Amino acid sequence: MAKLTPEILLAFISIDRESSSPKYLQLYAQIRDAVVNGKLKPGERMPSSRALALELGISRNSVVTAYDQLSIEGYLTGETGSGTFICTDLPDFLNTADEKRIKERIGLLSGNVSKRNIRYEFPSSEEEMRLDSEGDIAIPFQLTVNDLSNFPFQIWSRLGARAFRQLQHKNLGYSDAKGYEPLRIAIADYLRVNRSIICEKEQILIVNGARQALHLAAELLIKEGDDCWVEDPGYPGVRNAVKRFGGEICPVPVTEHGMDIQYGQEKYPNARLAFITPSHQFPLGKVMPLKQRLELLKWSREGSNWIIEDDYDSEFRLKGRPVPALMGLDPNANVVYIGTFSKIMFPALRIAYMVLPDKETAERFTFMKTMVDRQNPLMDQLIMSEFIVEGHFLRHIRRMRLIYKNNQEMLVSLLVKYLHEELTVDSSDSGMFLIGWLREGLKAKTIKERANREGIVLFAVSDFSIENKIPEGLVIGFTGFKPKDIEHAVQKLTFIIKDMTHV
């Protein structure tokens, strides 16, 4: 190897004595950049650490440290005594890590995504995404948004601060993948009293939102090509979960009794799963009556088929008692129950739960949860369980029921007052939205588009349908908005619809 005079080559190195950056680091970075930029070539000999230290007026130790690091990283090579060299076997396409250049690249790449090789085909879930409202401001008439202005903010803040003040070491490590045990016990108690589900804490799995619950169920229960009943119209997120794991989407029409079980059995006799919202069908708002529930349970039991019961807003029974959950009716059927705190508490909490029909099934789901993200974060679960145990949860539910009931009544009376000729209100005894069926000639999608331009968020019933031809109707949320905003939005909507009918 040629013995070059390295002093010449290293003239570009300068050590800034005023800098807060250690001298060895400055040296390291400059040599590294010189290799990357081609200022130093493979095979070139480096000055000895002693010589370089002398040359630069720094300690020999600084040079040794820099050389060691560069050796570890493969820039330098050499044994003690025989000299230090720039690695000879560096390929010759070195790229600079220069900040400016990289930023330019990122900019350049921006229009260029096709270059990157993303293999996965996305299911379309635009509607699902649009259901989320970001931040704290809800826009009428978004669906299932929280009324955060009536959230017991002070209590939550106090419980959270207390939990952190009383933080314990055992709160920091990995813990039961099923979720925080006191929270699972509190949920089991809540479900027994309020949803007629008798279950033990071992059957409950805490997950990172109802969406994760749907996807875990789809992954564990759907085999490639399995026929899956989904409600038509129904929640688009379910279709994403089914498609993601290779299931066949089998749209089953929703009648006034919820999903039409007989249609499902005749049209898709081989179906292995049904995704349903029996307590408050999304978006039509119907309750599935006992007869249909029992038929569905029979179908499940006799065919060993799975029912995924999504109980997304059952807390908001505005009149009468909550309709008991399907799962509570038959412990022998294969029902997987999904509940969430996103609607009654707040979305950023990301706590939902599943109830599995027996402990072994629960173990399988827990294993899957472990594999995909190990467990939910702990502190929020701890705070949530205190919120329930101290009685705030039930108080909050009762309070929100009254508020949402008032909102609903107000919305209904406004719609009747202003739009009784154009729209028939179909409100149910529960939930966070209602349907306004349009009189003949009015198109929901047209109204929706006009309304969007005016700053109102509206959905057409048909936004949620797959192949079911249903009459023209609007899905109108009434939670999360102040009464005056509801009034203002109804007036705007009235103007839009009246304007359309006069043309």
Q: Which is nearer to a second copy, 132 or 499 (CB)?
A: 132
Question: Distance (Å, rounded) from C-alpha 342 to C-alpha 229?
Answer: 25
Identity of residue 120: Y
3-state secondary structure of 276: strand
Q: What angle do CA 364, 366, 367 make, to 5 degrees?
A: 65
d(CA 221, CA 244): 12
Task: Determine the angle formed by the axes of helices 153-165 and 378-389, rounding to 10 degrees.
Answer: 120
Q: Which is nearer to a second copy, 186 or 349 (CB)?
A: 349
Given the complex with a second copy, which of 199 and 434 has the nearer CB atom?
Answer: 199
Closest CA to 397 of 283, 287, 318: 318
Which ranges of 270-329 would DSSP assign to H, the alpha helix? 290-303
Least distance to a second copy from the beta carbon of 389, Å?
18
* CA 312 – CA 281 distance, rounded (Å): 9
The residue among 223 and 420 lying less far from a second copy, judged by its C-beta, is 223
| 266 versus 440: smaller Cβ distance to a second copy | 266
Cα angle 200, 203, 204; round to 5: 100
Q: Which of residues 28 and 404 has its CB atom nearest to a second copy in the complex?
A: 28
Min CB(19)–a second copy separation in Å: 14
Q: What are the beta bridge partners of residue 436? A: 425, 474
Smaller CB separation from a second copy, 385 or 490? 385
Smallest separation, CB 149 to a second copy (Å): 7
- Which neighbouring-strand residues pair with 295? none
Contact between 148 and 480 (Cβ < 8 Å): yes
Angle at Cα 384 formed by Cα 166 and Cα 356, nearest 5°? 130
DSSP state of 273: E
Distance CA 487, CA 252 (A): 36
- With respect to a second copy, which residue has the nearer C-beta, 224 or 440? 224
β-strand partners of 231: 252
**Contact (CB, 8 A) for 227 and 272:** yes
Minimum CB distance to a second copy, residue 329 (Å) = 6
Kindly state the smallest distance separating residue 459's Cβ from a second copy, in Å.
17
Residue 399 CB, nearest distance to a second copy (Å)?
16
Select 190 or 418, whichever has its Cβ closest to a second copy: 190
CB of 450 to a second copy, least distance (A): 26
Closer to a second copy by Cβ: residue 116 or 502: 116
What is the token pair recorded at 221? 């229960």
Q: Residue 131 is encoded by which pair of tokens?
A: 């259901």
Kindly state the tokens that stand for 125: 């879930």
- Beta carbon of residue 395, minimum distance to a second copy (angstroms, whole number): 16
Q: Would you list the DSSP string of 465-502?
A: -SS-----EEEEE-SSS-HHHHHHHHHHHHHHHHHHHH
Whichever of 319 and 443 has its CB closer to a second copy, that residue is 319
Minimum distance of a second copy from residue 96's CB (angstroms): 9
Nearest distance from residue 105's CB to a second copy, in Å? 5
Shortest distance, position 192 Cβ to a second copy, whole Å: 8
User: What residue type is assigned to position 314 of the chain?
Assistant: S
Q: How far is CA 331 from CA 196, 292, 335, in A?
A: 11, 17, 8
